Structures are given as C-alpha cells and as structure tokens.
Amino acid sequence: MNKNIVIIYSIIAIFFFVKLNIWCKSDIIDNENFIEENEFTQDYLEEEKICYEFIEESMSSKSGGIHTNYLESNRVEEMASGHEILSESEGLIMLYYTRIQDNEKFNKHFNIVKNKMLDKTGLVRWRIKEENYNLSTSNATIDDLRIIRSLIYAYDIWEDKEYYETLEKISESLLKYNIYKGCLNNYFDIKHKYKSEEIDAAYIDLYTMKLLSNINNKWNKVYKKGISVINKGYLSNKFPLYQKTYNIRKDRYLDRQVINSIDALLVVLHLSEVGLVKKETLKWIKDQMIHSGGIYAEYDIKTGKPVDNVESAATYAIAARIAKITGDESLYKLLVDRMLSLQVVDKSSPLYGGFGDANTLKVYSFDNLLALLAFSTLGGLNDEK
C-alpha cells in the first residue's frame, strides 16, 4: 500500500479514536445512543452572558441554590413560590454547567442536591428552603431523571466516582419507588409511602432512561413502556401535539379541554432526543412561527387553536432545543430571536438580563434556566475567564 495512504488512514483512525474517547469516556454514554444538540452559531454570547449573570446575582440563595422566583414569599403553598429551591432548578443548572464544563460551579449545586435534597430513600425531595430541608415529602421523577442525566454527563467529563455512585443510587430508588405497573410515575410520597398512579407524558425522559439501561437493563422495559404511553397521547396529524396526564391503572389519558405548550413541547423534546419526533410536529412548530405569530401558552385540544396570546421564554427555549437537535438552523434562529424579545434589556431594571415581567417583577427560574440551555454556545462563558 502507498505510504501516503497509510499515513492518511492512520490520521483518520486517530481522529475517530480521540473523538470517540471524548464522547464515551464512561460505560454509560456510548456511540450508539450519544446525542448532541447542533451548535449553529455564536451570535448570542452577550444575551447568554447577561442571563447567566442575572441568575447568579439575583436568583441564587446564600448557599448557591436557585430561587424559584425573584420575589420572596413567606407562605408555603401547593405550588412552589418565592425563594424555595427546586430539584427542577438544580438539575437544569447542573446540566448547564456540564455544557460549559465548569466543574467548580457544578459541584456547588451537586453538593446542594446531595447534602440538602437527597432523602435517605435515595430519592430527591422536589423542594426545600435554606432553613427547611424537609419542606417536601415527595420527589418529582422528571427532576430526578434530569439530575441523573447531569451526573452522567459530569462523570463522562470529569470521571468523579461520586457522581456515578450518586446517580446509581437515585436510579435504583426510582426503580424501587417510582415504577407503577411497569410504568414510570409522577412521584412517590415518602411520608405516606404512596406511589402515584399517574404519569405526565412530559416526565418521560426517554434519553436519560436509555442511558440508564446501560447501567441496569430494567430501564429498557421502562423506556419502551414510556414510548408506548407517549404514543397513546398523540392527538392527530392535524394537531400533532400530545396529551398531558396518563392514568396508569385505568390505561387512559385524563380528559382535558386545553393543551399546555410547555408540557407538550417537553414531550416533543424527549422524542427528538431519541430520534422519534414526528415530521408533522416539526412542521407545526415552524408553521406557528412563520404563519401564526408565535407559539402560545395554551391550545384548544379539539380545534388546535390558541386560547390566549400569552408567550413564555420557556416555550421558545424548549422549541429552540428541538430545532437544534433536528438540525433546523433557520427555525432555531426564529425561536431564539422570539425568546430574546422577552428578555429584559433595560440596564436600569433590577431584572436586567433576565426573562420576566419588568413591571411586576414576576420572574420564574424555569424560564431563565431553560433559556440558558437554549443558547447555541458551548464553553463561551468559560472562554472569557
């Protein structure tokens, strides 16, 4: 064989070996089920930076946990509010720190989860306050799975065995407490030892369950059951979104008059991550942006028409990630630009950089954290250090 050809093949082989080694340092993430969001541009570095700074400076507790709202509330209600710290928020920020590969900041939030939210059962309590770690007596499976995913990514990057041991502990606990009739459920009430008989389709994080099947093959059955449940909730090709809450025991979805776009798009995001998103759904998202003025908060389940004109950063952020995963750059830019129309850019405002209502100061961490994950840059903030 020609010597030059041998050299070329050797270089190609080394390239793919290095690339594979970057992707697959752990036994959990392998080349077959590796998924990466496309990175189109670095046009949004400044917008990402000021959003990140708003979260760090104005939405974080003394210990570093992310506040649910910008404004404090002295009441404990059924829905999270005020300066409560959610497993949802911690999982989202941990995912972000794996994206920009900031190990120090990742560990700060990992320690909050491990030391303040992780119950002796191995489940993650879904909300706490700095002075009350036992505020909640249940978990939320979508949040536990999100934290597990962040730990899988972290272990793959930094190879810290404590990440693996913790994710394995949470995984085993989910299999023990959060599987009802072979299906993932919404929560387990630790105090009353009650398993929820329902699952929100948005909670079925298919990709994380696929990753977990490399640790425990029991997850493979839960993964397949999750796909079956999601498919049962598909509305129609005319209105290609998904119903919300499935009663596992009754084997049917609960009747609803409206569809919440965040709930529905989270289902689509999870499907896109495992290559199962429908082309009709992707077309619907694009049509809403090009022909219908945007994506709104709620839609009539029978007509498929919006019931209000409310928009949220979270909706556009989730849809933007779907566009990234499916490689539609033009749609991604449409969605991010619309999301940015909701960002506070008045430097005199206490909400500068954040996504919220500058008049009422109503701000949700969920919107801001999802916005961070929607930005196209990887490592941009670290590059500036």
- Asked whether residue 100 carries a pLDDT value surpassing 70, the answer given is yes
pLDDT of residue 19: 37
**Residues 378 and 251 occupy one common structural domain:** yes
- Asked whether residue 13 carries a pLDDT value surpassing 70, the answer given is no
pLDDT of residue 382: 43
**Residues 103 and 242 occupy one common structural domain:** yes
**Residues 172 and 102 occupy one common structural domain:** yes
pLDDT of residue 34: 64
**Residues 16 and 99 occupy one common structural domain:** no
Question: What percentage of residues in the chain have a pLDDT greater than 90?
Answer: 81
**Residues 24 and 116 occupy one common structural domain:** no
**Residues 25 and 155 occupy one common structural domain:** no
**Residues 242 and 259 occupy one common structural domain:** yes
CATH number at residue 61: 1.50.10.10
**Residues 234 and 221 occupy one common structural domain:** yes
Kindly state the average pLDDT of the residues 285-298: 97
Give the count of domains, the chain. 2
Kindly state the average pLDDT of the residues 254-265: 98
Place of tokens 């299999």: 175
**Residues 101 and 192 occupy one common structural domain:** yes
Kindly state the average pLDDT of the residues 221-250: 98
Tens of pLDDT, residues 295-324: 999 999 999 999 999 999 999 999 999 999
CA dist., res. 94 & res. 64, Å (int): 12
Tens of pLDDT, residues 23-34: 345 678 875 666
- Least trusted range by pLDDT, from 53-67, 153-167, 250-264, 371-385: 371-385
**Residues 224 and 297 occupy one common structural domain:** yes
Inter-CA distances, 35 with 29, 174, 271, 319, Å: 9, 23, 12, 17
**Residues 183 and 152 occupy one common structural domain:** yes
- Asked whether residue 22 carries a pLDDT value surpassing 70, the answer given is no
- Residue 11 structural domain: 1-34
**Residues 203 and 136 occupy one common structural domain:** yes
pLDDT of residue 80: 75
